[in-house]
Amino acid sequence: MKLSAVHLVSLVVTIVLTMLPGILAARKIKSADDYDVGGRSAGAGLVAGSIIGTLVGGAATVGTAQLGFTLGLTAWWFTLGSGIALLVMAAFYARPLRRSGLTTVAEFLVTNYGKRAGWLATLSSSAGIFFSIVASTLTALHLVAGIFNVNLTTAGVLIVLITAGFVFFGGISGSGMAGLIKICLIFCTIFVGGFLAFTDSGGWQGLQAAFPAHPWFSLFGRGMEDGLVSLASMVVGVISTQTYVQALFSAKDSKTAAAGCVAAAVVIIPVGLPSVVIGMFMHAQHPQISSIDALPLYLATYLPDWLGGVGLAAVLLSALSSIAGLSLGIGTMLSRDIISKLWRGATSANLLWASRFSVLTAAVCAVIFVFFHLDSSVLEWNYLSMALRGSGIFLPLTFCIFFPGRVRASMGVAAMAAGIFAAVFWKYISPWQINSLFPALFYNLIFLAIGLWWGRKE
């Protein structure tokens, strides 16, 4: 990308201003509880901001435009499915989770299925979240290298440093405030870009003339099964993710937690559409470019320099704040569910720094992993991530919500183990070529149904 001085100035100023809330929030952080759940005092706006800040990442912007460049409307499934998942979470999960007064998904499962369930939940959720961090890191690496004209190694170092600025000091509060700023930037830039791309394409008639109806204007452009798998992966994955549940735990009460979910859903659902339109526009105008560059190249080329710089900052911040928020989820689980159990004499200050360095470790490991998968697809990592998280957590968590204390603990643990095994090994052991999420959920359901019928052993 060839950026002007105006591009670079507006981009850097936007990034610095967005990082400031996270750094300033550090002054209020006195304990691990402040860092992980903000002292449980967040309003609906901050809850929504924490969810948006993580969920609207590289996949929702650059990844959606990348798939829109290749296949069109089917790329909308990521943000559409995310919004549907949040509405389901608001209706059935937000209130009981917040009323529990806990901090991690694993702790919630332990109350019903025992300590072994906690270890399995931490393993499954951490692995799944890690692949989401990989997706956003893949986006951010290309963006940082292209925007600042640096090599990939330098880009990786910058990603880790900016991620630290978001949550290393400020925790969930810094992540939430950055999320609110970021979504404002996206509405001011990517939505403007989507509208301009739509009009420059000749409106609806121009797009229809340039692209055949299938697959470009169908949500099921890759087939009915693929679309349903995408939706199921998002619903199952979002509800099972520590980072989004952690935002609910930070709310001041259960009603606020549910309201924050609904607000986040209303904002997230439409976010993917302008990215899809921009991807299609760039396919029509510049079919020779790499698909992952569709959105940033559009912002740098077709918007005024000052607005293009802000837009590039918004896209970059989408990826970076997503890395930060997801890393916070892993860091919280590692510190709360593993380090605190192994380090019996740890003080609150010790656990605070354990959370911070766990966040940093997750981000560094993701950067290293991405260097071995530079040409992979952003959305594919996200869908894998959602499936892996949901395979061991979604139905066991759901049974805890709807049938509290009624499932035999051993069967709950067996359901989690069977689901994780199916998610990882299904494609190697089965002759049926179906997405591993569905057999994982099937095995979950078998053991949980047996456990419910058998009853809880007192």
d(CA 375, CA 395): 34
Between 75 and 344, whose confidence is greater? 75
pLDDT of 81 reads 93
pLDDT of 27 reads 62
pLDDT of 70 reads 93
pLDDT of residue 259 exceeding 60 = yes
pLDDT of 60 reads 84
| Cβ-contact 14, 309 below 8 angstroms | yes
5-380 in CATH: which number? Answer: 1.20.1730.10
DSSP per residue over 383-419, as a string? HHHHHHHHHHHHHHHHHHHHSTT-S-HHHHHHHHHHH
Supply 331's token pair. 């860091």
Mean pLDDT over 56-82 rounds to: 89
Q: Please report, for the chain, the start and end positions of each structural domain, with discontinuous segments joined by +.
A: 5-380
pLDDT of 77 reads 92
Give the mean pLDDT of the chain.
84
Three-state secondary-structure class, residue 100 = coil
Band of the pLDDT at 148, cuts 50, 70, 90?
confident
| Cβ-contact 310, 138 below 8 angstroms | no
pLDDT of residue 41 exceeding 80 = no
pLDDT of residue 1 exceeding 80 = no
The residues near 229 (Cβ < 8 Å, ≥ 6 apart) are: 383, 435, 437, 438
d(CA 36, CA 18): 20
Between 434 and 441, whose confidence is greater? 441
What does pTM read for this prediction?
Answer: 0.81
Return the bridge partners of 42, or none.
251
d(CA 17, CA 312): 14
Band of the pLDDT at 442, cuts 50, 70, 90?
very high
pLDDT of residue 315 exceeding 90 = no
Return the bridge partners of 251, or none.
42
The residues near 389 (Cβ < 8 Å, ≥ 6 apart) are: 124, 125, 128, 129, 236, 237, 240, 241
Mean pLDDT over 22-32 rounds to: 62
| Cβ-contact 118, 41 below 8 angstroms | no
Q: What percent of the chain has pLDDT over 70?
A: 90
Three-state secondary-structure class, residue 251 = strand
Give phi and psi for 42, each to the nearest 5. -70, 140
pLDDT of residue 34 exceeding 70 = no
Band of the pLDDT at 458, cuts 50, 70, 90?
very low
pLDDT of 29 reads 63
Between 204 and 344, whose confidence is greater? 204
**Amino acid letter for position 369:** F
Supply 231's token pair. 């939706």
Band of the pLDDT at 379, cuts 50, 70, 90?
low
pLDDT of residue 339 exceeding 70 = yes
Mean pLDDT over 364-370 rounds to: 89
